[in-house]
Amino acid sequence: MANNSAVITESFKVEKEEKVNKKLRWAIVGCGGISQTHMGAIKKIPQIEVVGCCDIKPDRLKVMKDQWGIEAGYEKWDDLLREIKPDVIDVCTPNGVHCPAVVAAVEAGCHAITEKPMAMNPAECQQMIDAAKANDRKLAVGFQYRYHPVCEMFTRAKAAGDIGDIMFVKCQALRRRGIPNWGVFGQKELQGGGPMIDIGVHIIESAHYCIGEPRPIAASGNIWTYIGDKPSEVESMWPGWDWKTFTVEDLAIGQVRFDNGCIMQIESSFSAHIDHDIWNFTIMGTKGGFNFDTATLFTDHAGTMINAKAGYLPSAGGDSLFVAKLKNFANGILEGTPLRAPGEAGLAVQKIIDGVYRSAAAGKEVAID
């Protein structure tokens, strides 16, 4: 009996060591700017080994080889999937390619994580979720801001009862003049939209996560284009954008209703005549409120209205948020830990964005299924 016990103990020890030492064979699809941030973060995650990459532009594959030592570069993901057989595909392409790349990956037996937004529209998101489930693969969306120390501060305050029922959240991702002058950010057919889907998604996803991810049921909003489709004639941080192909909005404003009665107001711009750029969300609850930008809790205590500002929070600088999101996905695969941004979270955020865009097109409030 003692011998059997020793065998079981030793077997468990070996299994545990193998689990700790297991490396995920990781491949990057889309080797543009954001992939470089992913590579920097991956170098800090021992569980990940990048074994291949894919891009339609050979010069980008050369950068991956020269800068990161990735020898296996392909122009077609079908070749990558067939020859390299990675465990994970990390999709860093323009938005319009997220869905086909993820579907191809999970059908080839890979787990998949995709950059934000999840896809071009909710139908593509659902297709990705269904494909992952059908092939028993994990799917996550690169929503790094929900890992931000300020978001974690808020979720702790909410769990402690300091917020109460959440009634309203205001999301702002506003640039005074910040139209990207690289990539395809101004082309609707490849991106799905402008600032709402590109930068607004960050504030929307983090705020939606903080308020408990209620189900969106209706949206109203409008979009305007008045600067991006004209030549750059004002000094700005990114001058000379491709105005001739600019088919997205400069400014998007929306309001979304959720099934629990909460309202989300959204303001997002590449170009707005405002005092300064704003990157913030504020929350109003029955017991307390919160401001992301200042990491401040507003509440009542001992007969006094109190503004409680964080005395210390860990840094969110550098690539720390990317490390957090990629490590969460790696741990989800290797250890079965919960994914903080599964495909279903990406679908909910996409429904919010899509609802505002559909309302703008229809000129009235629209229902969200």
Q: What CATH number is associated with residue 116?
A: 3.40.50.720
287: domain CATH number is: 3.30.360.10
328 in any annotated domain = no
218 in any annotated domain = yes
Does one domain contain both 234 and 306?
A: yes
Does one domain contain both 251 and 361?
A: yes
Does one domain contain both 304 and 171?
A: yes
At 22, is the pLDDT very low, low, confident or very high (cuts 50, 70, 90)?
confident
Helix 33-42 vs helix 58-68: crossing angle, to nearest 10:
20
Task: Give the pLDDT of residue 261.
Answer: 98
Give the three-state DSSP class for 225: coil
Q: Which of 90, 110, 144 is the last residue of a domain?
A: 144
6 in any annotated domain = no
182 in any annotated domain = yes
The pLDDT tens digits for 142-183 are 999 999 999 999 999 999 999 999 999 999 999 999 999 999
Helices (H) and strands (E) in the chain, counts: 12, 15
Residue 270 has pLDDT above 70, yes or no: yes
Q: What is the mean pLDDT of residues 334-346?
A: 98
Does one domain contain both 292 and 165?
A: yes
Q: Which of 89, 122, 144 is the last residue of a domain?
A: 144
Does one domain contain both 166 and 309?
A: yes
2 in any annotated domain = no
Does one domain contain both 154 and 137?
A: no
Q: Which of 111, 144, 177 is the last residue of a domain?
A: 144
Task: Give the pLDDT of residue 46.
Answer: 97
Does one domain contain both 179 and 259?
A: yes
At 6, is the pLDDT very low, low, confident or very high (cuts 50, 70, 90)?
very low
Residue 14 has pLDDT above 50, yes or no: no
Window from 11-15, 122-126, 304-308, 349-353 with minimum mean pLDDT: 11-15
Task: Give the pLDDT of residue 12.
Answer: 43
Residue 163 phi/psi, 5° resolution?
A: -105, -40
Residue 331 has pLDDT above 50, yes or no: yes
Residue 34 phi/psi, 5° resolution?
A: -70, -25
Does one domain contain both 178 and 231?
A: yes
Window from 15-29, 125-139, 247-261 with minimum mean pLDDT: 15-29
Does one domain contain both 179 and 121?
A: no
4 in any annotated domain = no
Does one domain contain both 123 and 201?
A: no
Helix 320-335 vs helix 33-42: crossing angle, to nearest 10:
60
Task: Give the pLDDT of residue 2.
Answer: 44
The pLDDT tens digits for 199-240 are 999 999 999 999 999 999 999 999 999 999 999 999 999 999
Domain that holds residue 153: 146-315+343-367
Q: Which helix (H) or strand (E) holds 172?
A: strand 166-174
Measure the CA–CA gap between 287 and 152, rounded to whole angstroms: 18
Does one domain contain both 103 and 132?
A: yes
320 in any annotated domain = no
Q: Which of 54, 290, 287, 49 is nearest to 155 (CA)?
A: 290
Does one domain contain both 136 and 157?
A: no
The pLDDT tens digits for 289-317 are 999 999 999 999 999 999 999 999 999 99
Q: What is the mean pLDDT of residues 24-46?
A: 97
168 in any annotated domain = yes
Task: Give the pLDDT of residue 16.
Answer: 44
CA dihedral of residues 194, 200, 205, 208 (deg, nearest 10): -120
Window from 18-22, 66-70, 155-159, 251-255 with minimum mean pLDDT: 18-22
CA R_g for the chain: 22
Our count of domains for the chain comes to: 2
